[in-house]
Amino acid sequence: MSDAPRTTMETGVAATDLAAATSRTVQAGTPILRAESVSKWFPVDEGLFRRAHKQVRAVDGVSLDVFPGETVGLVGESGCGKSTFGRTILRLVDPTYGRLFFEGEEITQLGQRELRPLRRKMQIVFQDPYSSLNPRMTVKQIVGEALQIHGLAKNARDEEAQVAELLRRCGMRAEAMTRYPHEFSGGQRQRIGIARALAVDPRFIVCDEPISALDVSIQAQIVNLLQELQEERKLAYLFISHDLKVVEYLSHRVAVMYLGRIVETASAKSLFERRHHPYTRALMSAVPVPDPKKRTLRVLLEGDVPSPIDPPSACTFHPRCPRFEKGTCDVETPELRELTPGSGHQVACHFPEDA
Amino acid sequence: MRCCSPADEPRPEPPVARVPVAPAPAEGTPLLSVRGLVTSFRTEGGVLRAVDDVSFDVPPRSTVGLVGESGCGKSVTSLSIMRLVPDPPGRIEAGKILFQGTDLLALPEREMRKLRGDRLSMIFQEPMTSLNPVYTVGAQIAEAVRLHQKKSRADARARAVEMLRVVGIPSPETRVDAYPHQLSGGMRQRVMIAMALACEPKLLIADEPTTALDVTIQAQVLELLRKLQKLLGMSVVLITHDLGVVAEFADRVVVMYAGRVVEEGAVDEVFQRPRHPYTRGLLRSIPPFGEVAANRPRRLPTIEGMVPDLRALPVGCRFQDRCPDVIDVCRKIEPELAPIDGEPSGRRSRCHRASELA
């Protein structure tokens, strides 16, 4: 437990990266959220007497900035630590190592009471709209609860008016207020979940697989809603997803995670065009594209994602990597580095593709 | 339970799969022919027809993708083919399911049982719930073999090991004695495939076989299915909501909406020229992948609204309330699933304006 996370800090890199994101404009300046070498380790109990104290390094030295009005996509396969990271930066779980800053202020050590005013500014939308809404509460109670907690409504009538407006903005009718979550479809529930997150007028929302449980035709509706809200309110999103199509579409910048670490990060454009890391390549080539003419050469990875309890040495991707070099990849941990200085495109690989 | 090869072994070349482009020829009589299938469910709110007059063919050695959103009837269609619809509340009310010329719906249950897992097999979305947790995977595969073939225990076990090897499970001689929980999600799905294919079926029904899997594992499993399909010369009915999977894997596609087939045809044709507003809407609503930024829409085109309640269907076309091309007749008369002017035979659409939509 003594060895501290090893990832280098990349202060200032993200700002230059913004220039590379030519397709859409975002604000620069102070990041709304900054994670510096954040790690989240969980103890695992093993054995008959639950003595063996192993650690799962769910998140292992992740540094990331999110700027106001920006969407940062976080992609990776199940168990890569992307959801844990999303919860850690909101202080829903406490980081084991590293530092967190919100709007320039350090929040790593803040107690729950001190965090409360900040909770207004940062919210989360969950994947499963079936389990993240209290089935015993009406929609009005669900959306209005945060207004009450933070004292944002003058009186009951004001609260009702605010809830109605939030629902309307999220594409629901005011009549929905008196009904219960089970009366709605998945897409509608996700709209309720978004309305709840918006109630406190946040600056930053972690979207944890917000569309994965929805039907295809509903996914696009929710994606558009998230985009509209971002433009209206200058919201910043950390968009956690395994769906690379949506991430490419929605994100200004993207970070690819594998076994708790970021292996590649860049502007969406640069990442999807260059894909330096062999894992990024494999991940992208595995995406089934709905165009029979685009059936392409596919890099098939062997094996599964290894267990984070007992990860492979050095570069944790090396047992599955088509570019594995013995004596290097299994010995030295590659640090995130820019291949082209100033590009903001960073990759943690000894032998990146197209370097 | 690490499935990756140890780092100190020499590694083979990275496997790069070339995806075949040419669809399998659809000659001769179909292997499976679903005709006018109606499957209903009794619910508190009344009887609803989850599958309402569905017809389609599956040619030999080909893959037919059955796509649609939740509640469109694609899974109930597949359960109906296997005669596994829970009764009650479900009931197959009408139709024929001709498999190699025999109407499965007319067979006694005893005969049907002989077919299932033998010439006709199915794999499900969640392998953890379809595998028995208290038996080893080997025992479960061997059971499938011994049910249909006169084989000794030892032979059936040998067959199980062989099948585990075929589906790419490392050290199958050891894994044959593993329990399902000791395997990863991708490995479990391979076991399911091994079990389904142990008797070399003519038709495999795969119901969302990769939906619960990560995208790199999905690619592995689809590649495996493709390889085994060629090897065994079987047909596959692939049920999925993922149009990308259909585009890459299927030869033909059947699009379902609210219990009806709304469009069908060869995959290349349907994806290039969808002739139903629903198919077109679905295809447009998927974010383009790997497109240059300038070609990307600022907003995704959507299909507004949601799927109608099957207990309260509108008069006329079932897609009318969400359709951007709706005209008066759509609200009065439901269109037939009919051939389209200027399209090859085998291409059908259930839209009054199919020939205008190009």
Query: Closest Cα to residue B50, out of B32, B26, B66, B74?
Result: B74
Which DSSP helix (H) or strand (E) runs through B113? Answer: helix B109-115
pLDDT at residue B6 is higher than 70: no
What confidence tens digit (pLDDT) does each residue in B66-88 have?
A: 999 888 999 999 999 999 999 88
pLDDT at residue A53 is higher than 80: no
What confidence tens digit (pLDDT) does each residue in A91-114 have?
A: 999 999 999 999 999 999 999 999
Q: Please identify which residue in the block is written with the tokens 């076991």.
A: B191
Indicate the range of A13-27, B34-48, B96-110 predicted with least confidence: A13-27
Q: Helical H runs in A62-215?
A: 82-89, 112-119, 139-149, 156-169, 186-198
Q: How confident is the model at residue A296 (pLDDT cuts 50, 70, 90)?
A: low
| φ, ψ (nearest 5 deg) of residue B139 | -60, -35
Q: What is the mean pLDDT of residues A239-252?
A: 92
More confident residue, A192 or B129: A192
Contacts of B61 (CB under 8 A, 6+ apart): B24, B229, B233, B234, B235
pLDDT at residue A19 is higher than 90: no
From chain B, the residues in CB contact with A287 under 8 A are 215, 244, 289
From chain A, the residues in CB contact with B214 under 8 A are 77-78, 242, 305
Ramachandran assignment for A348, one of left (phi > 0), alpha (psi -120 to 50 degrees), beta (any other): beta
What value does the mean pLDDT of chain A take?
86
pLDDT at residue B8 is higher than 60: no
pLDDT at residue B7 is higher than 50: no
Q: How confident is the model at residue B10 (pLDDT cuts 50, 70, 90)?
A: very low
Is B309's Cβ below 8 Å from some Cβ in A? no
Identify whether the C-beta of residue B160 lies closer than 8 Å to the C-beta of residue B198.
Answer: yes
**DSSP calls for B23-71:** PPP--SS-SEEEEEEEEEEEETTEEEEEEEEEEEEE-TT-EEEEE--TT
Q: What is the mean pLDDT of residues B196-206?
A: 93
Identify whether the C-beta of residue A196 lies closer than 8 Å to the C-beta of residue A143.
Answer: yes
Q: How many CB pairs under 8 A join A and B?
A: 173
From chain A, the residues in CB contact with B8 under 8 A are 326
Collapsing DSSP to helix, strand or coil, A123 comes out as strand
From chain B, the residues in CB contact with A257 under 8 A are none
Helix, strand, coil percentages in chain B from 3-state DSSP, rounded to 5: 35, 20, 45
CA B14 – CA B17 distance, rounded (Å): 10
CB atoms B8 and A293 under 8 Å: no
Identify whether the C-beta of residue A198 lies closer than 8 Å to the C-beta of residue A171.
Answer: no
pLDDT at residue A239 is higher than 50: yes
Q: What is the mean pLDDT of residues A76-92?
A: 92
More confident residue, B121 or A10: B121
Query: Closest Cα to residue B216, out of B12, B3, B1?
Result: B3
Q: What is the mean pLDDT of residues A45-62?
A: 76
| φ, ψ (nearest 5 deg) of residue A232 | -65, -40
CA A321 – CA A100 distance, rounded (Å): 32
Q: How confident is the model at residue A307 (pLDDT cuts 50, 70, 90)?
A: confident
CA B245 – CA B219 distance, rounded (Å): 9
pTM: 0.84
Task: Provide the β-strand partners of residue A123.
Answer: A205
Cα B163 to Cα B142, B171, B176, B266, distances in angstroms: 10, 12, 10, 32
Cβ count near A29 (within 10 Å): 10
CB atoms B289 and A326 under 8 Å: no
pLDDT at residue B206 is higher than 90: yes
CB atoms A298 and B219 under 8 Å: yes
Q: What is the pLDDT of residue A329?
A: 95
Is A233's Cβ below 8 Å from some Cβ in B? no
Percent of chain B surpassing pLDDT 70: 90
Cα A257 to Cα A64, A260, A336, B109, B144, distances in angstroms: 12, 6, 12, 51, 40
CB atoms B216 and A185 under 8 Å: no
What confidence tens digit (pLDDT) does each residue in B139-196 have?
A: 999 998 998 888 899 999 999 999 998 888 888 999 999 999 888 888 888 899 999 9
Q: What is the mean pLDDT of residues A229-254?
A: 93
Which DSSP helix (H) or strand (E) runs through B285? Answer: helix B277-285
Q: What is the mean pLDDT of residues A6-14?
A: 37
Task: Provide the β-strand partners of residue A64.
Answer: A35
Altogether, the residues listed in chain B come to a count of: 358
CA B322 – CA B304 distance, rounded (Å): 6
pLDDT at residue B12 is higher than 50: no
What value does the mean pLDDT of chain B take?
87
CA A4 – CA B328 distance, rounded (Å): 69
Q: Which of A249, A295, A318 sits opposite B248 (nearest CB)?
A: A295
Chain A contacts in chain B segment 231-290 (CB below 8 A) = 241-249, 267-268, 271-272, 281-283, 285-290
More confident residue, B267 or B297: B267
Minimal-distance CA residue of chain A relative to B4: A303
Query: A269 vs chain B: nearest CA distance in angstroms?
Result: 7
Half-sphere exposure of A345 (CA within 13 A, CB side): 20
pLDDT at residue B15 is higher than 50: no
CA A86 – CA A82 distance, rounded (Å): 6
Q: What is the pLDDT of residue B21?
A: 41
Beta strands in chain A (DSSP E): 33-46, 52-66, 71-75, 97-102, 105-106, 122-125, 204-208, 236-241, 253-258, 261-267, 298-299, 337-338, 346-347
Q: What is the pLDDT of residue A297?
A: 63
State the virtual CA torsion across A58, A63, A69, A74 in degrees, nearest 10.
-40
Q: How confident is the model at residue B292 (pLDDT cuts 50, 70, 90)?
A: low
pLDDT at residue B5 is higher than 70: no
CA A86 – CA A204 distance, rounded (Å): 12
Q: How confident is the model at residue B294 (pLDDT cuts 50, 70, 90)?
A: low
pLDDT at residue A354 is higher than 90: no
What confidence tens digit (pLDDT) does each residue in A211-220 have?
A: 988 888 889 9
State the virtual CA torsion across B91, B93, B94, B98 in degrees, nearest 10.
20
Task: Provide the β-strand partners of residue B348.
Answer: B264, B339
Is B219's Cβ below 8 Å from some Cβ in A? yes
CA B123 – CA B26 distance, rounded (Å): 24
Q: What is the mean pLDDT of residues B312-333?
A: 94
CA A66 – CA A14 distance, rounded (Å): 8
Percent of chain B surpassing pLDDT 90: 58
CA A286 – CA A44 distance, rounded (Å): 32
More confident residue, B202 or B23: B202
